[in-house]
Structure 1
């Protein structure tokens, strides 16, 4: 049995995977310091996704906006960008029913994250 729980965070680029001590460890005498692995994947950001210990998922879709961007040359160009700071977050929590909507949602997004992490992402230096 593992002594760590997993938390995954996707903000499109980079991907992060954190490992934190489980609640059974004595957190009163030892501070909880997660270890963090980073990788990037060439994906266009469409949403924020937080996977918490395989039991919860928080997801928020980005809105696409048009805005002016100033290039290093000083030229201003119109660009499509994603806006995430006002994105509405939805929460899904697994339960005892493996066929429930929330359990299916969390499990399917965990499989998606793991597939991107294992097949597409490239490790980044710490």
Structure 2
């Protein structure tokens, strides 16, 4: 397990945890509002048996920065996910799994960046 950081387009530091085999398909977990990367619990551990699990602390949550403003701009949320993907050198084949508000963040990413880096999106 590794705790890492990526810097988003507006300078916000996004913290995330990586578990699972290095060469496995990336699965990016996006939690709901007021959650954090730890909310996935044992599910993240089980998923890491088959995937390279990247559990993100969304901006303003967990250990990620909490900027004063910008939460109402979908481009910021999209840039946060793009920064994590870039930091992990993921250019294709990733899965996004958005739970509750994380699904909105996944949609923000799709709107701004399209599907080029993705193999699929799961909304829960």
TM-score normalized by structure 1?
0.27
Question: As a proportion of its length, which structure holds more helix?
Answer: 2
Question: As a proportion of its length, which structure holds more strand?
Answer: 1
Q: Look at both structures and tell me which one has the larger radius of gyration over its CA atoms.
A: 1
TM-score normalized by structure 2?
0.28
